[in-house]
A and B are shown apart, each in its own frame.
Chain A
Amino acid sequence: MLSLAVFAVLMLIGVPVAFAILGAALLQNAISGQAALLVDAPAQMFAGLESYGLLALPVFLLTGELLSRSGAADRLFQLAILCFGRLRGGLSQVTLLANAALASILGSTVAQITLMSKLAVPALVKAGDTPERATATIAAGGMLAPVIPPSMMLIVFGVLAQVPVGRLFVAGVIPGLLMLVAMMAVALRVAPRTDPAQTRALVEGAPTRVLAGALPAALIPAVMIGAISMGLATAVEAGMFGALAALVLGVFVYRSLTLTELREAVVSATRSSAMVLVLIATASLWGWIAAWENIPATTAALLTDFTADPLVFLLLLNLGLLLIGMVLDPMPALILVVPIFLPVAQDTYGIDAIQFGLIVCVNLTLGLLTPPVGTGLFTAARLNGLTPERLFVSLIPYLAVAAGTLALLTLFPPLTTWFVSYLF
C-alpha cells in the first residue's frame, strides 16, 4: 500500500511515469525485506527488454516515421477524397477513411492527430464544417490507431502477455473496422452535407496521377498485414520490409526523403521507442515484484469473492480501466494493468488473452480523448486553436460509439477471436 501511495504522489508531482514506477518498485522491494531481489533489480530491468517480439516496436515506428516524412499521408488523403468524396457526409467520411489508412502506417494516435490537423481540418472547415466538429472528426479518427494494425499498444501487449504480435494484429482488424463504421455513421449524422463537386475540387491533379501516387503507400501496410496473416513473415520481419519499402518509396518514388529527413526519422523513431521501452523496463521490474509478492493471486482471490462470472469481471475491468484511462496515458496504463489482471482473467475466469488485449487497448484509447489527461484531446485542441472543453463536447457522439464498440467486444468474444482462429 505504501508503494502505491508513493507511486500516486510521484505521478501527481509530475515525475515521468516510467520513473515513478521504478521508485515505487524499488520501495516495494526494500520494504518487503527481499534484499536479494533488490540487488537483481537492474538486471531485471534489462531483461524486461530482451524480447524478440518487442523488436516490432522500433521497426514499425521507423516505418511510420519514414512514411509520414515522405508525404504518404497527403497522398492517401487525396486518394480517399477521390474514392469516397461523393459519399453523403462527404469530407468527414473521407477524413475518417484516411485516418483508418494512416492508422495502418503510423500506429500512434498523437502522430495521426498532428498530421490530420494539418491535412484535413482546413479542408473540412473550408467545406462548411465548424472547427470544433472538424477537429472532433480527426481526433476521433485518432482512436483507430491503437486498434487497426500495426498498433504499438498491441505490440506491447503481445510482449507482456506472451501472445504472438501477428495474431493480435489480425484480431485488431474486425474491432478496427467496427469502430470505423460506427464513427462514419456518426459523421453521417452530425457533419453537414458537402457538395460533391466542392469535395472533388480538393483533388490535386488527374485521378490516375492521384491513384498512382497513393497506391504504393496504401500497399505497404496491406502487404505487411497480409504477410503476417498468411504466416509468411513474423511481425518484426514484416515491419522491416515496411521500413525498407518506405525508404525506397520516399527516396526513389516520391523523392521527398532527403538525408537530413532520414536522419531525423531515425532519431525520432529512437526517441519514441525509448519512451516506450524504458516504461516496459521499469514495469517489468514492477511485474516481477508483483509476481513475487503474489499480487495477481491476491487480486484474483478478492475478485472471485466478489463474482465468479467472467462477464461481471469484464464489466468491472472496463469500469476500472475507464477511470485509469482518464488519468493515465494508454501505454503506461497498459503496462501497469496487464501483469496484474491478465493472469486473473486467463486462469480464474477463462478469458482469452486476445479478447482481453483488445478490450484493454480499445478501453484505454478512450482515455486519450477524455479530460483531465487526454493527450489526444489536448493535442488536437492546441493544434487547432480550440479549448479542450469545447472540443470534448463535439467528441461525445464519437466517444459514445467507441464505448458501444467496446461493449460489443466485451459481450461477444468471437469479434476478437474468430478471425484469428480462422487464419491460424
Chain B
Amino acid sequence: MTLRKTEILQRWDDRLRRAELAVAAVLFTALACVVTWGTCARALGSPLIWSDETAVLLMASAAFPAASALLAEDGHVAITLLERRVPPGMARAIGIARDVSLLLIFLALAVLVWRWFAPVAEIARLVGQKTDGFPNFMYSEPTATLGLNKVWFWLSLPIFCIGVCFHTVVRIAARRGKSASC
C-alpha cells in the first residue's frame, strides 16, 4: 500500500474516531440529563417510570462507540511491558502479532453479531419474501418501559464492530506503509 493511500486511510480513521467519540459524548450527556430528571422527579414525589431503564440503555449504547474510539487512541488498559523491553525488531513483530490478533478477535465478534442480527433474512422478510426458519425475535424484543424495541440500542454493537475492525485495519496498513517506506 502506498504512503498516500495510508495517509488517506489514517485521515478517515481519525474522522471516524472523532465521530464515535462525539456520538458517545452526546449519549452520555443525555444519560446525565435523564438521571437528573429522574432524580428530581422522584424527589418531588412523582417518579418517572422510564428514567432508570433509559439511562442504563444510553450508558450501554454509549460505551461501545467510545470504546472503539479509545482503541484508535491506544486508550485501553494494556500491558506493553514486553514490547518496551525487547529490541526494535522484536517489538515490531510483537506489534504485528497484536494487531493481527485484535483483527481476528473483532472479526469473530463481527461474525457473531452478523448472525445475531441476521440482516439479510430480516430485509427479505421486510420486502415480503418468504424465508426459511423462524422469524428473528431480536427485532421484536421490547424495552420494559420505553415503548421502543431494544434493537435500536443493540445497534451500537454492529457499529462497534465496524469501528474496531476499521481502526485495526488502518493500524496494520500504517505499519505496512511505514515498513515499506523504510
Contacts and interface: CB of A to CB of B under 8 A. Distances in A.
Interface of A: 10-19, 22-23, 26, 38-43, 45-46, 49-52, 54-55, 58-59, 62, 233, 236-237, 240-241, 243-244, 263, 266-267, 269-271, 273-275, 277-279, 281, 327-329, 331-332, 372-373
Nearest to B31: A58
Top-10 shortest CB links A-B: A274-B66, A16-B76, A277-B63, A278-B67, A49-B60, A23-B105, A16-B78, A237-B39, A274-B67, A13-B98
B59 A11 contact: no
Contacts of B69: 271, 274
Contact of A274 (B32, B42, B55, B70): B70
B154 to A, nearest CB: 6
Given A15-B98, A277-B67, A244 B36 contact: yes
B44 to A, nearest CB: 13
A50 B56 contact: yes
B82 interface: yes
Given A51-B56, A52-B52, A274-B63, A42 B82 contact: no
B94 interface: yes
Contacts of A243: 32
Contacts of B29: 266
Given A38-B112, A58-B31, A281-B63, A271 B101 contact: no
B97 interface: yes
Interface residues of B, number: 55
Interface string B96-120: 0110011011101100110110000
A382 B165 CA distance: 33
Contacts of B154: 43, 46
Given A11-B78, A274-B67, 5 more contacts: A10-B101, A12-B82, A14-B80, A42-B109, A279-B77
B90 to A, nearest CB: 11
Interface stretch (B8-16, B20-28, B126-134, B171-179): B20-28
Consensus secondary structure, chain B interface: helix
B147 interface: no
B87 interface: no
A58 B39 contact: no
B182 interface: no
Given A49-B63, A241-B39, A277-B67, A14 B32 contact: no
A181 B62 CA distance: 40
Contact of B55 (A13, A55, A279, A328): A55
Nearest to A45: B157
Contacts of B112: 26, 38-39, 41-42
Nearest to A10: B101
Nearest to B23: A270
Contacts of B7: none
B115 A240 contact: no
B67 A55 contact: no
A54 B113 contact: no
A286 to B, nearest CB: 13
19 contacts: A19-B106, A38-B112, A39-B112, A43-B154, A50-B57, A237-B42, A266-B28, A266-B29, A270-B24, A270-B25, A271-B75, A274-B63, A274-B64, A274-B66, A275-B75, A278-B70, A279-B77, A328-B79, A372-B81
A331 B108 CA distance: 25
